[in-house]
Amino acid sequence: MANDEALKLFSLHAFEKDEPPDDYVELSKQVLQYAQGLPLALIVLGSTLKDQSIHQWKSVLNKYKQIPDINIQSVLRVSYDGLEDNEKDMFLDIACFFKGGPLDDVIKIFENCSFSPDYGIRRLVDKCLITVDEWNKSVWMHDLLQYMGREIVRLQSPKEPGERSRLWFHEDVRHVLEESTGTNKIEGIIVEMPKGEEMIILSPKAFEQMKRLRVFINRNASFSSGPNYLSNELRVLDWFEYPLQSFPPNFHGKKLIIFLMHSSFIGELSFIKCSIKYKDMTIMRFHDCNFLTKVPDLSSVPNLRDLDVQRCTSLVEVHDSIGSLENLFHLSFFRCSNLRIFPRSLKLRSLDELDLRDCSSLRSFPEILCEMKSLRRLHLERSAVEELPLSIGNLTGLQALFLSYCKNLMRLPFNIILPLEYLIELGISDCTNLLKKMGDDRQSNLAIESPTMEEEISSCEEQLQELVPPTNSSNGSSELQVLNGRNCFQSESNFFPKSSLFTMFNFSATLTFLNLSGSQIVSLPTSIKGFVALIELCLRDCKKLEEILELPPNIKVVFASGCQSLERFPELSRILEFNGSHNRSLFYLSLDGCDKMHEKIWNYKVPNALLWKVWTL
């Protein structure tokens, strides 16, 4: 970088202006010599010297003069040397383990290690030794700074890696774990082996001397055997292909914050005991752990925020306590195909997302025992759930409900689901048994308003109101509780077949996405125009659908491919006759495989009759 540009960049970080003050000009030029025109060095040095007196500047410059062979690592090292001890620990942890990691997780780990991250992280950022990505809230540092941090650790013991505080280089890790040369000085290990590397022949005693081990992360290595000891100082335990079905007898993991198992042989979590409070644990993830059969009682893990269990095909049971974890934010059992026993009720006030996709043995969905207004997305696609309870109305903040391919789903309380204030996406395509009800009820396909049904809906609403408890005098709040009681909502009419969905359209002013694909409806009822917010409608493979007489007023996209019986579609006729849509918001219409509409389009002799495949307005 040219001298003028270098001076400007340095001045911006040291003085927050383009040029240095007159009495700092000569000192600034000296700094530029040490920075060697490297932008990173200019930024770091400028941030280090910001708000310092001339005397302090001279002191720093004297340190640079003592470096015999000036190189950029040595120059940057001066900024590191000016940190407090806890700030140095955080810098080295990020350089060795947490570069690119979520800021919240990193702060939680540092807090638990008494590193005072609220102040320390800010200091590292101010000195430009690390950066925080504001978009995804992650921690980063320049490659040169990471290299400097790791070199500082290597120099703690150049010849014997077991005497260092942190290990990351695969050859050093292999040496320490195979030869049992680890010592009490080791605080963290990350294992990242080159592709094709042989498994680590783990010495059973490899971890015995690592009493202060805080972080163990295995990204990809295979181990010949498991440990007979693990440090109870561990805050992060992330072990790919953990080779044993249980943990060493000494291990209780009381200080764990992040606990991750991927493709591991773990079969039980017996180290988690109700007598021990795991107050710091916030993340538990088990992916592809095909020996895991049960998620145990986690009432002793009160601050758990993320419980993510995926593709654990032997998992059968989830303990009832999971349904009462007040701080749980994310809960997933994606593709746990043998899961059959699930909490009978949920009281998860902080939950944002529940994912039960592909739980093909799970037949019952739990009661919702309190208002769970934080839950935005509920995924039940391809599960074996047979019905949703009436207490689903307690999901007052629900935005998206996905039920597609639920082959066992028989009934849905549409009169409770549709009025949900924030619901914008509803997917109920290819629910074989639910959709069959629509096909069997021919009259309902015309969406005839039934006074009897209206009376029943009104009655349901009145009973719902009676279930709302009085204001809690202790906190002034009122909690909606919709329960499946003995004397309420027991008639079949409360679980409307899908055909009755159309009689309820006026209850939803927020739904923007509706997926009815695979249903056996014959006519899309005109009352669908009551969905004023709907912008996307999916009717794919509705084989018996003959007519679409009306569309919602603000619809933008309609997918009707595979509707082979469709022959009456007035909106399409208007497009062909007047070269424009009556519905001005509509801009995409898919009619691929609609053979009868294909014939009609040819008869109109439009310039490109092949537009019947995908019609774009």
Closest CA to 47 of 71, 82, 21, 97: 82
Q: Does any domain span residue 519?
A: yes
Q: For 30-39, 112-121, 174-183, 562-571, which range has the lowest pLDDT when averaged over its residues?
A: 30-39
**Confidence (pLDDT) at 604:** 56
Domain boundary among 48, 81, 114: 81
| β-strands 536-538, 131-133 pairing | unpaired
Tokens 């000891």 correspond to 229
Q: Which one, of 107, 126, 125, lies nearest residue 117 by Cα?
A: 107
* Structural domains in the chain (count): 3
Is the pLDDT score of 428 beyond 80? yes
Residue 615 has pLDDT above 70, yes or no: no
How many other C-beta atoms can be found within 10 angstroms of the C-beta atom of residue 40?
Answer: 15
Predicted confidence at residue 438, as pLDDT, reads 44
Shared domain check, 564 and 499: yes
Residue 492 has pLDDT above 70, yes or no: no
**Residue 236, strand partner residues:** 215, 258
State the CB neighbour count (10 A cutoff) for residue 465. 8
Tell me if 393 is assigned to some domain: no
Amino acid 45: pLDDT: 83
Residue 78's SS3 state is helix
Binning pLDDT at 50, 70 and 90, where does residue 435 land?
Answer: low
Question: Which H or E element spans position 345?
Answer: strand 345-346
**What are the DSSP E strand ranges found in 117-178?**
131-133, 138-140, 166-167
The DSSP secondary structure of 495-527, one letter per residue, reads S--GGGGGGGGGG-SS--EEE-TT---SEE-GG
Q: Across all residues in the chain, what is the average pLDDT?
A: 84
- The residue that leads in pLDDT, 255 or 502, is 255
DSSP codes of every residue in 363-383: --PPEE-S--TT--EEE-TT-
Residue 235 DSSP one-character state: S
Domain identity same for 23 and 98? no
Give CA–CA dist 133/123, Å, rounded: 16
Residues 30 and 63 in one domain: yes
Same domain, 511 and 603: yes
Indicate whether 132 belongs to any domain. yes
From CA 162, how far away is CA 182, in angstroms rounded? 4
Give the model's pLDDT for residue 3: 81
Q: Does residue 518 lie in a domain region?
A: yes
Q: CA separation (Å) from 414 to 369, 373, 426, 436, 484?
A: 19, 19, 11, 16, 15
Please indicate, yes or no, if residue 333 is contained in any of the structural domains. Answer: no
Same-domain status, 602 and 561 = yes
The strand pair at 400-402 and 513-515 is best described as: unpaired
List the domain range (segments joined by +) for residue 124.
85-149
Final residue in a domain of this structure, among 133, 149, 165: 149
Q: What is the pLDDT of residues 506-528, one digit of tens each?
A: 456 788 999 989 888 889 888 88
Mean pLDDT, to the nearest integer, of 93-98?
97
Residue 131 belongs to some domain of the structure: yes
Indicate the helix (H) or strand (E) that contains 440: helix 432-440
68 and 89 housed in the same domain: no
Residues 138-178: tens digit of each pLDDT: 999 988 889 899 999 999 999 999 999 999 999 999 999 99
Both tokens assigned to 548: 């679409």
Average pLDDT of span 21-46: 83
What percent of the chain is modeled with pLDDT above 70? Answer: 82
Shared domain for 530 and 609, answered yes or no, is yes
pLDDT higher than 70, residue 601: no
Residue 608 lies in a domain: yes
Tens digit of each residue's pLDDT (9 = 90 or more) over 456-471: 334 444 433 433 333 3
Strand 367-368, strand 353-355: pairing: unpaired
Q: How confident is the model at residue 592 (pLDDT cuts 50, 70, 90)?
A: confident
> Which has the minimum average pLDDT: 267-276, 357-366, 501-510, 519-528?
501-510
Question: Do residues 356 and 382 lie in contact, with contact meaning Cβ atoms separated by under 8 Å?
Answer: no
Bridge pairing between strands 614-616 and 588-590? antiparallel
Token code pair at residue 335: 């593709």
In the DSSP assignment, the letter for residue 332 is E
pLDDT of residue 61: 80
Alpha-carbon distance 63 to 82, whole Å? 11
Q: Do 498 and 611 fall within a single domain?
A: yes
- Count the Cβ atoms, other than its own, within 10 Å of residue 57: 17
Q: Clarify whether residues 515 and 571 are in a common domain.
A: yes
pLDDT tier, 332 (very low <50, low <70, confident <90, very high otherwise) = very high
Q: Does some domain include residue 522?
A: yes
Assess whether pLDDT exceeds 60 at residue 239: yes
Q: 333 pLDDT exceeds 90?
A: yes
What was the pLDDT predicted at 115?
A: 96
475 CB neighbour count, 10 Å cutoff: 8
DSSP secondary structure, 5-16, as one string: HHHHHHHHHHTS
Residues 31 and 135 both lie in one domain: no
Q: What is the DSSP letter of 95?
A: I
Buried b (16+ CB within 10 A) or exposed e, 388-410: bbbbbbbbbebbbbbbbbbebbe
Looking at the structure, tell me whether residues 115 and 40 fall in a common domain. Answer: no
Per-residue pLDDT, averaged over 369-394, amounts to 97
Q: Which of 81, 113, 133 is the last residue of a domain?
A: 81
CA atoms of 48 and 128, how far apart (whole Å): 8
Residue 514, SS3? strand
Indicate if 536 and 566 belong to the same structural domain.
Answer: yes
Query: Does the structure show a pLDDT above 50 at 280?
Result: yes
pLDDT at residue 99, rounded to an integer: 96
